[in-house]
């Protein structure tokens, strides 16, 4: 019986390209209609876009007169690239930023290669030593010339704000989530108030407060750097959102996991760090990355307090009389770069989810 069954193959129509097309695109009349409509839509949209971005676009030259105006004028981006990537950071000091990028890139690639060992040490280096290197390299010290933060800008500034916001907000968010669920009423109430206040205020308000009102409350002569104030604002704002995401993960944990940890004698912190958090953080990876992506994009709001982030500086160079009328190119470029960063985070989160999946 079973032998005989093996010899009968599936119907031919189910297999191959034709089978796939039939099953997925033309399974019935409205599906076929949708397929045809979809193909038509792509046909009228894609060729003009490709023409504008690539085929008719101008890549070579140095002024706007080199642009034919039939397609995009990427010369505009090329001529302003230093401003767009680094802001007003002094040209002779740019190697410092690039050096930091290089370290970040090498450690990042190292962490992504599964075969390599000592990942823990590289991670610890990134989280503990690398930030110190960043501060010294970027703002000056140890013989390096000081570069004021008002000169920081462009994609570099966006990465600084988003990076600091993301890296610091996660641990703060986790602590707030644990605090909110604490059995100690004082801790729980304080954490709840903190979270709800930050979540109840738009980020733009937070940034205004940090930039304009905060100094009013400080004693005379105390003057925090504007960037640091914005960083603190972004960090707490993001932490409050993450706290609720993490709390969701904590609440999804079965009670049995807490009881089993207690029964083998783990203390509260051991239970949390060894058993509960690894599982609940894993559960909410998509939501955490969602928060990170949101924060990355929200950094564009720092423009309102006079910091020129990536998008801000692109808008700014678009107002340069030499380059008026190229805002389309600027926005398309900004969108593409933002997409690359956000998609990278999204891709990494999917990879992480797969890697950490142990079944349930």
- Please provide the DSSP assignment of 115-166 as one string: T-S-HHHHHHIIIIIHHHHHHHHHH-BTTBPP--GGGB-HHHHHHHHHHHHH
Residue 91 Cβ vs other proteins, minimum distance, rounded to whole Å: 50
Cβ-proximal residues to 242 (8 Å cutoff; 6+ apart), any chain: 169, 170, 172, 173, 174, 176, 177, 288, 291
Nearer to other proteins, 16 or 278 (CB): 278
CA 66 to chain CA mean position, Å: 36
Which whole-number Å values give the CA distances from 298 to 84, 149, 207, 259, in the listed order? Answer: 18, 20, 11, 40
Nearer to other proteins, 204 or 281 (CB): 281
Of 42, 12, 13, 38, the C-alpha closest to 25 is: 38
Residue 270 Cβ vs other proteins, minimum distance, rounded to whole Å: 5
Residues that bind other proteins (CB under 8 A): 254, 256-257, 259-267, 270, 274-275, 278-279, 282, 356, 358-360
Residue 254 Cβ vs other proteins, minimum distance, rounded to whole Å: 8
Residue 211 Cβ vs other proteins, minimum distance, rounded to whole Å: 43
Nearer to other proteins, 185 or 321 (CB): 185
Nearer to other proteins, 13 or 260 (CB): 260
Nearer to other proteins, 276 or 289 (CB): 276
Residue 40 Cβ vs other proteins, minimum distance, rounded to whole Å: 47
Q: How far apart are CA 233 and CA 175, in angstroms?
A: 17
């Amino acid at each position: 019986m079973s032998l005989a069954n093996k010899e009968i193959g599936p119907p031919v129509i189910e297999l191959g390209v034709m089978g796939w097309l039939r099953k997925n695109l033309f399974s019935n009349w409205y599906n076929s209609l949708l397929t045809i409509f979809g193909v038509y839509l792509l046909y009228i949209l894609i060729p003009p876009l490709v023409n504008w971005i690539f085929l008719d676009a101008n890549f070579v030259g140095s002024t706007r007169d080199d642009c034919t105006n039939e397609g995009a004028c990427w010369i505009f981006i090329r001529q302003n690239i230093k401003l767009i990537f680094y802001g007003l950071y002094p040209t002779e000091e740019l190697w410092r930023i690039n050096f930091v990028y290089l370290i970040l890139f090498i450690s990042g690639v190292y962490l992504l290669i599964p075969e390599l060992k000592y990942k823990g040490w590289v991670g610890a280096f990134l989280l503990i030593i690398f930030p110190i290197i960043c501060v010294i390299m970027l703002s000056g010290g140890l013989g390096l010339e000081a570069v004021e933060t008002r000169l920081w800008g462009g994609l570099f500034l966006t990465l600084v704000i988003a990076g600091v916001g993301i890296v610091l907000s996660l641990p703060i968010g986790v602590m707030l989530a644990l605090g909110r669920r604490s059995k100690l009423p004082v801790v729980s109430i304080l954490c709840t108030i903190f979270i709800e206040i930050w979540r109840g205020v738009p980020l733009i308000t937070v940034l205004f407060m940090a930039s304009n009102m905060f100094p009013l409350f400080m004693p005379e002569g105390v003057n925090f750097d504007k960037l640091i104030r914005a960083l603190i604002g972004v960090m707490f704002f993001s932490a409050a959102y993450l706290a609720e995401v993490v709390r969701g993960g904590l609440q999804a944990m079965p009670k049995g996991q807490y009881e089993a940890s207690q029964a083998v004698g783990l203390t509260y912190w051991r239970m949390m760090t060894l058993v509960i958090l690894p599982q609940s953080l894993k559960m909410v990876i998509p939501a955490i990355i969602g928060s990170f992506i949101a924060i990355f994009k929200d950094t564009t709001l720092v423009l309102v307090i006079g910091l020129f982030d990536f998008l801000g500086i692109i808008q700014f160079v678009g107002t340069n009389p030499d380059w008026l009328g190229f805002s389309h190119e600027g926005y398309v470029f900004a969108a593409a770069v933002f997409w690359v960063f956000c998609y990278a985070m999204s891709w990494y989160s999917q990879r992480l989810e797969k890697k950490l999946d142990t079944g349930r």
